[in-house]
Amino acid sequence: MTTSDLRSTGAPDRANNWYRWGVDDERGALNLLGPDTVRRAAAAITSGRVYSLGIPIQSRDVPLIEYRGTPMRLTLQDSTDEGTAPPEFGCAPGTGSHEDVLIMASHTTSHMDALIHVYHEYQHYNGTGYQAMQATAGATKLGIDKVGAVAARGVLLDMVGYFGCAEDWITPGRVLTANDLQGAARKQSVEIGAGDAVLIRTGYLQYWLENRPGPEAIGQPGIGLDAASWLAAQDVVLVGSDNAAVEVIPFDRGDFLGVHKTLLVDHGIYLIEYLDLAAPARAGDYLGLFTVGPLKVTGATGSPVNPIFVT
């Protein structure tokens, strides 16, 4: 059966998730979430501890990718504007407001990738052509505005603890395999199932904060292609990590964005990058309710996020 036949009939192709939820689907693996999975996620809360997983949005002292530019916070209104409110507003002396303008890339610091972010063979998830991204309109399909709100069971795999690293990080450039992920899950006595959000701690964020590597130092630990395929086979809804791309850099088998292609393009599984996973890992909090709501920027390829993990 050809791709055009699949599109016309809506028949599922489980080698990937294209057309699994219909030929016009734009939400991908998020279709696996529903009342039952949310209740399962809430039942995973045992300690009541709440973790903010996002890192700050600021112009320095956080990992930034050069071509994306430096995020800027500019003051729009401050104390120097006191007394400028129209008289009919009845603004009393000593009353005013402060406001900002934010200028930043949609993929700055902690951020979530939309399904439109990466394409392969000129196609995005569900056979959407790469022309769906336009200069002025942005993403006409698969944009970050299609995500809405996510609530899922979060499963944290602390790979630093699993390998017993002498430092608080895995060696940059190390490929994490499916066997590695399964081994960590067994050691932590957790299972990964359909509808889960999997959070993978490599320690790269701690490595960056300690060593401040320059842009020429590209090596980062992360998952490889077989790990991505294994995660897809578990029917997870998203994968997050504490590095720049979730996947290992340099890319596994020299396949540029290979993990992105497997997860985002083939299976509609979302990626969240540069998460701070150190605190829950150190506390041994591996299971809980994971929630995230990206900004509803119409047509955007991604959004800064501050996910919450309740364990």
Residues 266-283 have pLDDT tens digits of 999 999 999 999 999 999
In the 8-state DSSP scheme, what is residue 174?
Answer: P
Between 83 and 110, whose confidence is greater? 110
- CB atoms near residue 77 (< 10 Å): 14
Q: Is the pLDDT of residue 11 over 80?
A: no
Beta bridge partners of 157: 200
**pLDDT at residue number 89:** 86
For the cut 70, the answer to whether the pLDDT of residue 10 exceeds it is no
Q: What is the pLDDT of residue 100?
A: 96
Average confidence score pLDDT of the chain: 94
Q: Parse the chain into domains and list their residue ranges.
A: 3-62+105-310, 70-103
Q: How far apart are CA 107 and CA 132, in angstroms?
A: 19
Q: What is the pLDDT of residue 86?
A: 85
Q: Where are the beta strands (DSSP E) in 118-274?
A: 133-134, 138-139, 150-158, 175-176, 197-201, 222-223, 238-241, 270-273
Q: What is the mean pLDDT of residues 187-205?
A: 98
| Entry pTM | 0.93
> Cα(165)–Cα(182) distance, rounded to whole angstroms?
18
The pairing of strands 238-241 and 197-201 is parallel
Q: Which amino acid belongs to residue 42? A: A
pLDDT at residue number 2: 45
Top-level CATH class of 3-62+105-310? alpha beta
Residue 14: the pLDDT is: 62
Dump pLDDT digits (tens) for 242-256.
999 999 999 999 999
